[in-house]
Amino acid sequence: MWKRVKYHVPDALVVSQRQTGTNIYTLTIACREIATEAKPGQFVHLRCSSGLDPLLRRPFSIYQVERKEGLVSFCYQVVGKGTKLLSRVKEGTFLDVMGPLGHGFETELCGKRVGLIGGGLGIAPLIFLGQELAKNNEVQGFWGGRSKVMMPQLAVTSDFPYFLATEDGSAGHRGLVTELVEQWLQQETPDQLYACGPRPMLAAVAQLARSKEIPLQVSLESVMACGVGACLGCICEKAGADEEKRLKVCQDGPVFWAEEVQWDGEN
């Protein structure tokens, strides 16, 4: 039996909706229940319109939480019908939301040096994570994207420093964000790494972390129909020889230790 949903709020107030990049939006809702409980790496399942079309909800990682104010923010890109409808939602209207869902990042660290590696919208949950970790640890961020105009305008934060890489060289280092991480690891030995982004980027980070024997947690991106482990639509292959070879990204994750995941090309 899948885990019970923590909260189902059918009337969460939309506080703000801003376009913050090319087809990228930042949405903030008032939902004290989720704001109180949310942990970095968790997500919500959101109905994108007031009707039943589209029928399925969409998963959105939690980007920022203002616990005292009861506000929760998400950063998303318009890629289909659901997110296009969501981008038209106005302030003052209401959305149906379930959450917080999933297994989040480990944050019980103190006095450690950690690195956060984000690609594209994978940066979003790492902002929330970095803000939490920076209270008691030394945090260094590494953000990557195809170009400056495609990057979500969410990397600017005073809580911890970051390096930026774009594939076209329009901002920061020209190239892949993993190149910056590799250079950093030649000079530094952090206590732990965290990553979220496209799977090829995660696989490259996992290889770097393994070569340096640094613990790494990854947040996997996946299409999720139900968000609570019932539909088996977000299955990924588990590493090792266990009888249970499948992981449910929505329920077992979306955060995993890197060694739990079967990466492409590995036996």
* Domain limits, the chain: 7-101, 113-260
Enclosing H/E stretch for 86: helix 81-87
Contact 236, 262 (CB under 8 A): yes
Give the E-state strand segments of the chain in sequence order: 7-21, 24-30, 43-46, 58-61, 64-66, 71-77, 94-101, 113-119, 138-145, 162-166, 173-174, 192-196, 216-219, 235-237, 246-248, 255-257
Contact 48, 86 (CB under 8 A): yes
CATH of domain 113-260: 3.40.50.80
Contact 99, 35 (CB under 8 A): no
Residue 239's pLDDT is what?
80
Compute the distance between CA of residue 181 and CA of residue 204 in angstroms, rounded to an integer: 10
- The reported pTM is 0.91
- pLDDT, mean of each 10-residue run, the chain (267 residues): 65 94 92 96 88 76 95 93 93 94 94 96 94 96 87 66 93 95 96 96 97 97 66 72 70 90 71
Q: How many CA atoms lie within 13 A of 246 on its CB side?
A: 8
Residue 3's pLDDT is what?
44
Contact 21, 150 (CB under 8 A): yes
Enclosing H/E stretch for 37: helix 32-37
Question: Comparing C-alpha atoms, which of 129, 110, 88 is closest to residue 218?
Answer: 129
Residue 50's pLDDT is what?
66
Compute the distance between CA of residue 173 and CA of residue 24 in angstroms, rounded to an integer: 22
Residue 151's pLDDT is what?
73
Structure tokens at 27: 């949405």
Helices 199-212/177-187 angle, 10° precision: 10
Integer CA distances (angstroms), 13 to 52, 73, 91, 134, 153, in order: 19, 12, 8, 30, 23
187 contacts: CB under 8 Å, gap ≥ 6? none
Structure tokens at 78: 């318009």
Residue 249's pLDDT is what?
82
Dihedral through CA 96, CA 99, CA 105, CA 107, nearest 10?
110
In sequence order, what are the beta bridge partners of 61?
A: 43
Question: Comparing C-alpha atoms, which of 40, 99, 38, 60 is closest to residue 228?
Answer: 99
Domain range 7-101, CATH class? mainly beta
